[in-house]
Amino acid sequence: MQIQEILIIKNAHENYGISTEYINQISRVPDLMPLPLRPSGVRGLCSVSGNVVAMVDMNLLLGMQKVDIKDHKSRVVSLNEELSSNTLLVSDVYNTVEVEQENIDYLDDKDDPVIAIYKYKDLLIQVLSLEELFLKINKVNIPAKEIVTGKVKENIIVEEDSSRFLIFSMSNEKYALEIDYLQEIILADTEFTEVAGSSKELMGLITLRQELLMVIDLRVYYGFEPKTSDENRILVISYDGKKIGLFIDSIIDIKSFYKRDVEYMKDTFEGNKIAGIIHDKDSLVSFFNEQLILEILQANDAFVESTKVSDENIQSDEYAMEVIVFKLGQKEYSFDIECVDEIIDSVSSTKVAFTDSAIDGIINIRGQIVTNVSLFDKLNLETVINEDSKIIVCNIHDNRIGFVVDSVSDILRVKREDIREESNGYFENILHLNDGKRLVLSMDIEKIVAKEEKNA
């Protein structure tokens, strides 16, 4: 079954996605009601839209630290159909996107909740099956106790450390790479610029977002016969400020393994070109780490230097902010994404007597009253509402305020070098996107609200 649309969720340092077919609504975290002897993964009960449901912590099911329900980014995702008796607690909701099938790799492991890997812009999304994820909810855990000299001694179970690996294939053999080294996965259907005098495994150079990337055919490096197929991928690896691409046959899975299942092979790396093996059920998976990456970089050092990004450029390429870009009239503006709660279709508001002309009125969103402020009025533009109009709902000092806009263009991250300070009226920066061909005025919501409060 193909996944058509996903909700992207940010948890810790990783990105996950769930099909929107599961989702009923997204809302702020309601009050949590404790549940005695609750199953592992369930935080308690809560009330959503008048129904009492179980609050399931997505982080706990994935073996991570529990979600901080007091964090302003935390959200609950209400589910439908067979999962409607539960709501999913997540750390941060990023965006809803339509899935481009050429950018998604479906995985075969039926026992793993990660069923696909999706490449969205510069994000690597692990798409989850909620049915498989919810199977990780354990029965009630009652700590085992032992009587010693008349006293009760509790047996404390220590949680094991684990690491996540990307599993991929080369000539029907399974290999693994710790996911910490993986920056992204891209399609292998690209043109290579050959490099004269290079090693046989160096396929050439490609351009990735205006940077040159050296690509090594990992299959040739291991002595396998290269085969071309639609499943071929390039793993973009980042190590010590350098990037390389590793050409492989296909992606199989992303999986967590306990440290007890990972066996290192000391002093044998040079001959075997592997760091060790992973005991995966009834099979063994060869894995490599930074030692292989370092060896490849050193063997092709002359070519890497020509593509290496200097420390100065690395600093300037860091993403300084994340914004939501929208249109008003013929211009593009943006809000800092940190202030944005949600985006909804434009709805009629109820006028409130004796309010400022910039107040459009109030609307009711799932039982919460939101005040609509007119940016058209603030910017002296003609108010035009059409079928593409949206309301961007922001949280400002714990007050939910909506802003009607013509349309929402993008949600994107902006590099420091693309930001020009512009402290003028309601604006704080000008964003120079696409090499300066696209200018976006970054609005300071604090100033809009401050002026609004002053006028009131």
pLDDT tens digits along 272-300: 678 888 888 778 888 887 888 888 777 77
Is 80 exceeded by the pLDDT of residue 197?
Answer: no
392 sits in which H/E element: strand 390-396
Higher pLDDT, 34 or 200: 200
Residue predicted with more confidence, 370 or 268: 370
pLDDT-based confidence at 254, cuts 50/70/90?
A: confident
> Could you read off the pLDDT of 155-192 as tens digits, one per residue?
443 445 677 788 899 988 899 988 888 877 788 888 88
pLDDT of 73 > 80? The answer is yes
> Quick one: pLDDT at residue 37?
62
d(CA 218, CA 429): 44
pLDDT score recorded for residue 153: 45
Least confident of 96-100, 122-126, 349-353: 349-353
Share of residues in the chain with pLDDT > 90 (%): 14
Name the CA dihedral angle for 163, 168, 174, 176, rounded to a multiple of 10 degrees: -30
Top pLDDT among 397 and 94 is at: 94
CB distance 358 to 372 below 8 Å: no
Q: How confident is the model at residue 124 (pLDDT cuts 50, 70, 90)?
A: confident
Residues 394 and 401 sit within 8 Å (Cβ to Cβ): yes
Q: Give me the pLDDT at residue 12, please.
A: 67
Pick 246 or 455 by higher pLDDT: 246
pTM: 0.49
Q: Which structure tokens are listed for 60?
A: 């706990």
Which pLDDT band, with edges at 50, 70 and 90, does 304 fall under?
low
Over 90: is that where the pLDDT of 127 sits? yes
pLDDT, average across residues 138-162 = 47
Average the pLDDT over each of 59-63, 315-319, 437-441 and give the range with the smallest value.
315-319
pLDDT of residue 39: 74
Judge whether residue 142 has pLDDT over 80. Answer: no
Beta bridge partners of 103: none
Q: What is the reported pLDDT for 425?
A: 77
Mean pLDDT value across residues 37-48: 79
Rounded distance, CA 337 to CA 339, Å? 5
Q: Of 53-62, 141-150, 259-268, which gets the smallest average pLDDT?
A: 141-150
Sequence-distant (≥ 6) Cβ neighbours of residue 172 within 8 angstroms: none
Q: So what's the pLDDT on residue 312?
A: 41
| Most distant pair of Cα atoms in the chain: their distance | 83
Beta-carbon-side half-sphere exposure of residue 334 (alpha carbons within 13 Å): 26
**pLDDT-above-70 percentage for the chain:** 84
Instruction: Provide mean pLDDT across the span 327-351.
Output: 84
Three-state SS annotation for 307-333: HCCCHHHHHHCCEEEEEEEEEECCEEE
pLDDT of residue 355: 64
CA distance linking residue 306 with residue 364, whole number of Å: 57
